[in-house]
Amino acid sequence: MTDGIQAQVVIAGGGPVGMVLACELAGYGLVTVVVEAGSAVSRRPKATTLHARTVQCLVRRGYLDGLSHSGDGAGQATSPFHFAGIPGLGISAPAAEPEPLLKRAQEELEHHFEERARAAGALILRGHRVTGVRQGPDGVRVTAAGPDGPVTCTAEYLVGADGARSIVREQAGFASRTYPATVSALAGDVLLEEPGALEEGWRRTPRGWIVAKHLPGGGTRLRTLNCAGAHSERHRPPTLQELRAEVSRIVGRDVPMRAPKWLSRFSDFSRLAQSYREGRILLAGDAAHVHFPIGGQGLSTGLLDVVDLGWKLALTVRGRAGEGLLDSYDRERRPAAQRVIDNTRAQLALMRPAPELDPLRALFGELLGGERESGVLASMVSAQDTVLPRRAADASPWEGRFLHNVGLTTRQGRTDVIDLLVPGRPLLLLLGAAGEGAYAEQARGWAGLLRVVHAEPAPELPCEALLVRPDGYIAWAAGGGALDAALTAYFGAGGGAADRAAGGDVLAPALS
């Protein structure tokens, strides 16, 4: 029996979302423990898509080294995608940003993030299933069942990243808004008895949808969609016979298949927690929100959750967060999840095979061919349209927007926004002589926290000074109120005891 593990933060759930949060917190020097039920990374196919804004944020934290490639600056990059199974959508990103769509198996991502989390110092307890959560005024106690007996962890905060059936959400009493299932769907990897019996790609018939992808080695990955209604036993494991019958019904002929590697059942049941925080317990990823998996937005949304949460929670534990900073996680990320739920429900409405929807599908096909209209949908699906709430009524128009990658000339030489953000510190970017004097003086009290960079003016940044959060969003810009007021709102009073105790280094450098 193992007992009495002390941590600053416990993370329940060691999927990609939990592991990236562990990278963040351990990289900032926090004692971090991940409790994960799986004894090893699951090899079952899951998500395979990271959308543009998620890629951009993770690259700014240095978490996609070796997985993603930066743009060459020669022009805007575009990757083909779809909306509700209708082809023609192009996901674009500015030229200096990484590729707008990163296609990687979730298994590969999870291995990658776990290695980084361990290297940063996080303790990963695999094969441990959370069995109890108790919150007190000063911390949280988590019990788990492990291979060698029960384990108890105590921490200042607990983050539930333990999936759609989250034990943390359930035991902590988080309320949720739910949308009942209206469709039934199946998925699985099989061998088709007749190679070429199904064409690769998306196919709609009057009876539903089939998505087929041919795999190396001769297998085929299938997904079906039946819009006639929810399955009466949606938690019952599917069988090969059921998948064969469903595929055959939809295409209108028998499609023999064998040797299933895995099978699963899903639906459009959706859930959104009514708050992402209850005292010292927070939710992220599927524990906070689930939706119909059209458009590959689920994993990206969860990873954006923890990129938003990580630095805020680290500063809170260190005693350097401004009042309300941790609560801003809910204000910023819950509306984003609601938007994903709404757009996936809209896509599903277009996918229903009723003939009266054909004119609407044709209209969307035309819209996807138009640059402006397609751009609106692409920005929504890729989360590049996200603008965060402004802190005050007199905020600069820059505030809340994402700072795209720009090349800069500093006193140390040429660099860019991505490189400046990799260490994980809030960035105060002072552009030209006009941006130096008064702003540098106002920021002096936060010297142990901020990375202050003096750069030559850049045509893409017609602004004297910008305060940039570690996730790449602009927290303040010149012309939007006093800088020291913004710094206090985000990071508390400057020049405090925490600075002196840390030797002027309030945030330990994250891995780069």
Residue-wise pLDDT for 349-360, tens only, equals: 999 999 999 999
Choose among 49, 63, 59, 24: nearest CA to 405. 59
Choose among 359, 357, 356, 313: nearest CA to 471. 313
Q: Pick 394 or 190 by higher pLDDT.
A: 190
Q: How far apart are CA 263 and CA 483, in angstroms?
A: 55
- The answer to whether 476 and 446 have CB atoms below 8 angstroms apart is no
- pLDDT of 512 reads 29
Is the pLDDT reported for residue 319 higher than 80? yes
222 forms beta bridges with 188, 212
Q: How far apart are CA 409 and CA 416, in angstroms?
A: 8
Q: Running DSSP on this structure, what letter comes out for residue 382?
A: T
Residue range 205-214: mean pLDDT, rounded: 96
Q: How far apart are CA 333 and CA 340, in angstroms?
A: 11
- pLDDT of 110 reads 95
Residue-wise pLDDT for 421-430, tens only, equals: 999 999 999 9
User: 184-268, what's its fold?
Assistant: Alpha-Beta Plaits (3.30.70)
Mean residue pLDDT of the chain comes to: 92
- pLDDT of 276 reads 98
- pLDDT of 505 reads 58
Confidence of residue 42 (pLDDT cuts 50, 70, 90): confident
Residue range 449-461: mean pLDDT, rounded: 94
CA angle 361-367-372, nearest 5°?
160
- pLDDT of 73 reads 56
- pLDDT of 392 reads 83
- pLDDT of 391 reads 86
Residue range 135-162: mean pLDDT, rounded: 96
| H or E element in which residue 203 lies | strand 201-205
Structural domain spans, the chain: 5-178+271-381, 184-268, 407-501
Residue type, 263: L
| H or E element in which residue 350 lies | helix 328-351
Identify the weakest region by mean pLDDT among 173-182, 338-347, 454-463.
Answer: 454-463
Residue-wise pLDDT for 98-110, tens only, equals: 999 999 999 999 9
Residue range 417-445: mean pLDDT, rounded: 91
- pLDDT of 503 reads 40
Please give the torsion angle defined by the CA atoms of residues 361, 362, 363 and 364, in that order, rounded to the nearest 10 degrees: 50
Q: Running DSSP on this structure, what letter comes out for residue 199?
A: -
Give the CATH architecture of domain 407-501: 3-Layer(aba) Sandwich (3.40)
427 forms beta bridges with 451, 468
- pLDDT of 97 reads 95
Residue-wise pLDDT for 471-506, tens only, equals: 999 999 999 999 999 999 999 998 654 454 444 455
Residue range 241-263: mean pLDDT, rounded: 97
Residue range 345-351: mean pLDDT, rounded: 97
Please determine whether the domains at 5-178+271-381 and 184-268 fall in the same fold group of CATH. Answer: no
Residue-wise pLDDT for 119-134, tens only, equals: 999 999 999 999 999 9
- pLDDT of 38 reads 95
- pLDDT of 70 reads 67
CATH fit for domain 5-178+271-381, picks 3.50.50.60, 3.30.70.20, 3.10.450.40, 3.40.50.300: 3.50.50.60
Can you give the pTM of this predicted structure? 0.94
- pLDDT of 248 reads 98
Q: How far apart are CA 389 and CA 328, in angstroms?
A: 9
Identify the weakest region by mean pLDDT among 97-101, 281-285, 332-336, 492-496.
Answer: 492-496
Q: Percent of the chain having pLDDT more than 90?
A: 84
- pLDDT of 471 reads 97
- Longest Cα–Cα distance of the chain, Å, equals 76
- The answer to whether 53 and 378 have CB atoms below 8 angstroms apart is no
Given the structure tokens 């998620």, which residue do they identify?
54
